[in-house]
Structure 1
């Protein structure tokens, strides 16, 4: 079955076009600026027609025959959810800032100030730890 230009494209098709664009950049048909512009347009594209326009001025490549690198299932299962990684990053940043403030106050006051950053990072960290350990991977739950 041939795809009409109005049919919606999937992430797999976008990945195939990205691989083709990388190859054309590697052999010098596209500059890095052109590649970056097309890549930005690529991930905004929704239909086969929009994908085809990105490679219309390049030599033909059969996108259906392109092999996309597959990630092993075990690696996907171990991969932490992007939202959880962001939450841990926010926790680490807030904890670092609070400890830096505590250290500055302790040094400038001349005595050790009560380690109040523990009250900021402790409960938050425990909640994140429990969510990370027992929360599971949301992507795997959707597949089940």
Structure 2
């Protein structure tokens, strides 16, 4: 840390709080000690005050990152190719593959069946027509999936005129 007389920032206090939490998780601090040091950390004004809170604790090494697990395919909706695939751990790219789109549609279909079933049973159980609220659950989600499916079907390089225009645009 910088010189002990310099003022500490909120980020410095938060970093010390994380270190204290790691030491409590490791069993080096009791809950009472952790609470005491945590309140002192957030009240600290200088680096010197923060240093005192961790002076008797060893350095904390970050835990090694776990190796990515291979996710086995699970049974889906009964149709071939509609099972859960490895897209589940990669939310940012689920729409970029056919398997990801199939799995997203399978999730949508399963949810649609459940919420429409709940709505239908509730309507039948009360003996009167109830507002069809499932449209607000499955409708917007379906619109997004349609857009994702159409975007993935078009794919890169299918609209060559658009690709040529974007190459000509500066920067």
What TM-score, normalized to structure 1?
A: 0.41
Higher RCO (Cα < 8 Å, 6 or more apart): 1
**Structure number, greater radius of gyration:** 2
What TM-score, normalized to structure 2?
A: 0.34
